[in-house]
Each structure stands twice: as C-alpha cells, then as structure tokens.
Amino acid sequence: MNIFKLNQFFILILSLLVMTIAHAQTKVGNLQIVKPSARATAPGQSISSAYLTIENKGPTTDRLVAVSFARAKEVQLHEMKMDGDKMMMRQIQGLEIPANGSVELKPGGYHLMLMGLDSAIKDGEQLKMTLQFEKAGKVDVVFPSQALGGMKMH
Ligand SMILES: [Cu+2]
C-alpha cells in the first residue's frame, strides 16, 4: 500500500466513524438525544422504563411534553426522589430542558414509564418511540432494550 492509498484508507475509516457517531445521536432542532435505552421486562410484567439524556444546545428552554410508543397504552414521565428514607415515584406533566444544558433520565431519577405493554420487551430489541417537545417538535428515537436486572420500584 503506497502513501496515497494509505491516506485514502484513513479518510474512508474516518468518514465511516463520523457517520456512525452521527447515526447514534438523534437531533431535533437544538436538542440532541443521547444514550437512549429501555429495560427488558421480567416475565409477566407489563410495565417498563426507558432512559435517555437530552442536551439542549440552544439559547432557549424547551420542554419534553409527551412520549408515545405503539406497544404501550401510555408513556408517562416519572420522577423518583427520596422522601425521608423512602424512595418515592410520581408522575410529572413535563420535563424542562434548560437552555445550554441537559437533563439525564436514569435509574433512580427521571424516567419514562411504559405502561400497559402489549407484549414482553426482550433483551436487544430496538424500540421506536416518539418524543414531543414544546419548541423542537416531534422526533422518533430508537431505544435499544437491555436486561438491566432488578427494578425494585416498579
Ligand atoms: Cu416510574
């Protein structure tokens, strides 16, 4: 392989890498969706939860107002918090994404609650959900499912 071909090879690898990274992140308006994931269900379980990080690169606050998933009757936004020594979970009506900031939905904190699933979610599925933001609008996000182990609160 001469130098010229070697250069072309590196450019090819580099562009493939950039394409892979671009594909792994979903963008809508000023928002970037990072690390979406969902929990595989345990046998007999008809609810599950999903997580993601939402980054706001813009100068204005946005809000996640609704999420829909064809296989769930309803997707709720939940918050988990310590209340004294008890872990409490409650539904919230929207989630603010601060300007030039980010919000992480993760186990033990904010999460998406998938209610009334019509079938079990297996490990390794690609779950397509639609997120709706007040300003940025709607965006489809693929949540890869993982068996994350025990889900004490649900
Ligand atoms: Cu919940």
Q: What is the pLDDT of residue 5?
A: 73
Domain coordinates in residue numbering, the chain = 27-146
Question: Ligand 1 centre from 86 Cα, in Å?
Answer: 15
**Helix, strand, coil proportions of the chain in percent (round to 5)?**
15, 50, 35
Question: Ligand 1 centre from 139 Cα, in Å?
Answer: 22
Query: Would the pLDDT of 56 be above 70?
Result: yes
Question: Ligand 1 centre from 50 Cα, in Å?
Answer: 9
Rounded to 5°, angle at Cα 39 from 119 and 124: 75
Query: Would the pLDDT of 153 be above 60?
Result: no
pLDDT tens digits for 2-30? 666 777 777 777 766 665 554 557 999 99
State the Cα–Cα distance between residues 126 and 147, nearest whole angstrom: 13
State the Cα–Cα distance between residues 127 and 71, nearest whole angstrom: 9
Q: What is the pLDDT of residue 98?
A: 98
Half-sphere exposure of 32 (CA within 13 A, CB side): 15
CATH homologous superfamily of 27-146: PCu(A)C copper chaperone (2.60.40.1890)
Question: Ligand 1 centre from 64 Cα, in Å?
Answer: 16
Question: Ligand 1 centre from 136 Cα, in Å?
Answer: 25
Half-sphere exposure of 153 (CA within 13 A, CB side): 18
Question: Ligand 1 centre from 95 Cα, in Å?
Answer: 14
φ, ψ dihedrals at 8, nearest 5°: -60, -40
Q: Compare 60 and 13 and report the one with higher pLDDT.
A: 60
Question: Ligand 1 centre from 49 Cα, in Å?
Answer: 7
Question: Ligand 1 centre from 8 Cα, in Å?
Answer: 50
Question: Ligand 1 centre from 107 Cα, in Å?
Answer: 9
- Average of per-residue pLDDT across 125-138: 97
State the Cα–Cα distance between residues 20 and 69, nearest whole angstrom: 25
